[in-house]
């Protein structure tokens, strides 16, 4: 017998456990339902609130699904040409070394058209942070094949599945960045469930701390879901990340510089 | 167990149901009505007050529309250790 009690209006003495971070603007995002871009935005905003760097943070927004990211954060931001966010961030950081500059890029922006800017910024050891959202597809343009698409993945430009002989193997950005001399922090995390989201937040925090300490280039690759273009429900998309993407893109720390190694590391 | 409650910003919720998957006591449900954007928002359906305020729903919410409150339970007062005999000094942990 289930007894129905009236819903709790307010607990007798309660603490606020979680609320929307201050750095996230009070605007509804344009992302599709269940898209983990929103989670990545929120984690970045939470980390910036915790580190109390909202006043001196500059976002460099990409082209892609996150093209309107400058509307969703409550701090300074700039919009870069497609793929050129690390180059723009380099300039912003060099003329204003006290600012905290980060780019937020998808796989079409960073891994495809902007791979040269990303690699050269990393090799120069620019003191910036890159949040790289990998959802294995081009989201904004309607679900075309990306360099990070999995072998056999059906997209609108690979209707019979991605063919390795024709278009190559999936690109592993976090592993690729790790051996470059200017990189101090290169890790891969996932956003498909609560546990991995908490781990991703720790990684984002460490990446920003690397920049605050002036160590060099830090990059966090986040495995994200794209329910609309994968043609799945948000829940199935999260399971697809777990079952299909993580075996191809193993989570882990690929480079953690010495001063960062005592931080909350978990993989 | 501490009780909790969540507040959902129904106008911003897009009804993706990721919070339902994350919720351990399964007290989140889809509403019958639509919000002004045409989505079915989630709501707290907690007739037996099973919500613990763990905030896992808020951790996975892509739109940041969940606020979590938890009942604060006063911690029991720890009794101060009495000296075993007069003049005995209690060792302090380094």
The interface predicted TM-score (ipTM) is 0.85
A77 domain residue, yes or no: yes
Which of A2, A15, A33 shows the shortest C-beta gap to B15? A33
B51 domain residue, yes or no: yes
CB-based contact A16 B68, cutoff 8 Å: yes
Q: What are phi and psi of A158, to 5 degrees?
A: -140, 70
Tell me the residue range of the domain where B30 lies.
4-70
B94 domain residue, yes or no: no
Which of A7, A28, A197 shows the shortest C-beta gap to B60? A197
B90 domain residue, yes or no: no
Taking alpha carbons only, the member of A45, A73, A51 closest to residue A208 is: A51
pLDDT digit string, tens, across residues B30-67: 999 999 999 999 999 888 888 999 999 999 999 999 99
* CATH number of the domain residue A92 falls in: 3.40.50.970
Does the beta carbon of B56 lie under 8 angstroms from any beta carbon of chain A? yes
Tokens of residue A95, six digits: 């003329």
CB-based contact A34 B21, cutoff 8 Å: no
Does the beta carbon of B36 lie under 8 angstroms from any beta carbon of chain A? no
A171 domain residue, yes or no: yes
A32 domain residue, yes or no: no
A30 domain residue, yes or no: no
Mean pLDDT calculated for residue range A208-232: 95
- Output the pLDDT for position A3: 45
CB-based contact B62 A31, cutoff 8 Å: yes
Helices (H) and strands (E) in chain B, counts: 2, 4
How many folded domains does chain A comprise? 1
pLDDT digit string, tens, across residues A8-33: 677 778 889 899 999 999 989 999 99
pLDDT over 90 (residue A4): no
User: What percent of chain A stands above pLDDT 90?
Assistant: 89
Cα(A254)–Cα(B83) distance, rounded to whole angstroms? Answer: 54
* CATH number of the domain residue B8 falls in: 3.30.70.20
CB-based contact A16 B67, cutoff 8 Å: yes
Say which DSSP state A43 is in: H
- Output the pLDDT for position A10: 73
- Answer whether B52's CB lies under 8 Å from B4's CB: yes
How many folded domains does chain B comprise? 1
Tell me the residue range of the domain where A227 lies.
37-260
- CB neighbourhood size of A243 (10 A): 11
Query: Which chain A residues contact residue B22 at CB under 8 A?
Result: 193-194
pLDDT band (50, 70, 90) for residue B71: confident
Mean model confidence pLDDT for chain A: 92
Tokens of residue B55, six digits: 């905030």
pLDDT digit string, tens, across residues A96-142: 999 999 999 999 999 999 999 999 999 999 999 999 999 999 999 99
CB-based contact B62 A17, cutoff 8 Å: no
A224 domain residue, yes or no: yes
Exposure string (b/e) for B28-44, b if CB count within 10 Å is 16 or more?
Answer: beebeeebeeebbbbbb
pLDDT digit string, tens, across residues A144-174: 999 999 999 999 999 999 999 999 999 999 9
User: CA–CA distance from B71 to each of A23, A61, A194, B1, B23 (Å)?
Assistant: 26, 40, 22, 9, 18
Cα(B31)–Cα(B14) distance, rounded to whole angstroms? Answer: 11
Question: Considering only residues 63 to 92 of chain B, which have any Cβ-Cβ distance to chain A shorter than 8 Å?
Answer: 63-72
- Output the pLDDT for position A1: 41
Residue contacts between A and B (CB atoms, under 8 Å): 111
pLDDT band (50, 70, 90) for residue B90: low
- Answer whether A216's CB lies under 8 Å from A183's CB: yes
Q: Is A98 exposed, middle or buried (0-12, 13-18, 19+ CB in 10 A)?
A: exposed
A74 domain residue, yes or no: yes
Tokens of residue B79, six digits: 């009794």
Which of A7, A32, A238 shows the shortest C-beta gap to B18? A238
Specify the length of chain A in residues.
267
Does the beta carbon of B30 lie under 8 angstroms from any beta carbon of chain A? no
Query: Which chain B residues contact residue A31 at CB under 8 A?
Result: 62-63
A206 domain residue, yes or no: yes
Cα(A171)–Cα(A169) distance, rounded to whole angstroms? Answer: 6
- Between residues A75 and B77, which one has the greater pLDDT? A75
Query: Which chain A residues contact residue B53 at CB under 8 A?
Result: 17
Which of A11, A38, A41 shows the shortest C-beta gap to B71? A11
Query: Which chain A residues contact residue B14 at CB under 8 A?
Result: 32-34
B93 domain residue, yes or no: no
Does the beta carbon of B26 lie under 8 angstroms from any beta carbon of chain A? no
Q: Between the CA atoms of A134, A140, A146 and A151, what dihedral angle is there, to the nearest 10 degrees?
A: 80
A210 domain residue, yes or no: yes
Q: Which of A4, A6, A10, A14 to mutate to test the interface with B (most CBs of B within 10 A)?
A: A14
- Nearest chain A alpha carbon to B21: A235
Mean pLDDT calculated for residue range A43-60: 95
Q: Is A142 left (phi over 0), alpha (psi -120 to 50) or beta?
A: left
Taking alpha carbons only, the member of B66, B60, B65, B64 closest to residue A45 is: B64
pLDDT band (50, 70, 90) for residue B91: low
CB-based contact A38 B11, cutoff 8 Å: no
Per residue, the 3-state secondary structure of A59-127, as one string, reads EEECCCHHHHHHHHECCEEEECCCCCHHHHHHHHHHHCCCCEEEEEEEHHHHHHHCHHHHHHHHHHCCC
- Output the pLDDT for position B47: 84
Q: Please report which helix (H) or strand (E) contains residue A227, including its range.
A: helix A227-230
- Output the pLDDT for position B3: 86
Q: Which long-range contacts (CB under 8 A, 24 or more apart) does A141-146 make?
A: A141/A108, A142/A229, A143/A226, A143/A228, A143/A229, A143/A230, A146/A107, A146/A108, A146/A111, A146/A112
Tokens of residue B90, six digits: 């209690």
């Amino acid at each position: 017998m289930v007894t129905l009690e009236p819903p709790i209006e307010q607990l007798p003495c309660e603490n606020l456990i979680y609320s929307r971070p201050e750095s996230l603007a009070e605007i509804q995002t344009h992302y599709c339902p269940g898209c983990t871009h929103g989670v990545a935005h929120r984690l970045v905003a939470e980390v910036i609130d915790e580190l109390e760097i909202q006043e001196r943070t500059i976002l460099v927004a990409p082209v892609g699904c996150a093209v309107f990211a400058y509307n969703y954060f409550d701090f300074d931001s700039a919009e870069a040409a497609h793929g050129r966010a690390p180059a723009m961030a380099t300039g912003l950081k060099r003329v204003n070394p006290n600012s905290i500059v980060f780019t937020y890029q998808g796989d079409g922006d960073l891994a495809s058209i902007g791979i040269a800017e990303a690699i050269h910024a990393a090799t120069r050891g620019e003191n910036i942070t890159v949040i790289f959202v990998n959802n294995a597809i081009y989201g904004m343009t309607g679900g075309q094949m990306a360099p990070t698409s999995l072998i056999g993945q059906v997209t609108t430009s690979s209707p019979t599945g991605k063919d390795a002989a024709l278009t190559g193997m999936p690109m592993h950005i976090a592993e690729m960045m790790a051996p470059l001399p200017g990189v101090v922090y290169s890790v891969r995390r996932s956003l498909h469930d609560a546990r991995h989201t908490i781990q991703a937040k720790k990684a984002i925090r460490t990446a920003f701390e690397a920049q605050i300490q002036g160590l060099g280039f830090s990059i966090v690759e986040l495995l994200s879901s794209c329910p609309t273009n994968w043609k799945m429900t948000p829940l199935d998309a999260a399971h697809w990340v777990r079952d299909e993407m993580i075996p191809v893109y193993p989570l882990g720390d690929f480079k953690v510089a010495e001063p960062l190694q005592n931080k909350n590391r978990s993989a | 167990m501490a009780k909790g409650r969540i507040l959902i910003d129904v106008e911003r919720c897009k009804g993706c149901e990721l919070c339902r998957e994350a919720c351990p006591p399964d007290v989140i449900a889809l509403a019958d009505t639509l919000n002004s954007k045409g989505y079915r928002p989630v709501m707290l359906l907690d007739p037996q007050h099973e919500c613990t305020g763990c905030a896992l729903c808020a951790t996975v919410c892509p739109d940041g529309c969940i606020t979590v409150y938890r009942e604060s339970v006063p911690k029991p007062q720890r009794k101060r250790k009495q000296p075993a005999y007069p003049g005995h000094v209690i060792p302090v942990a380094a």
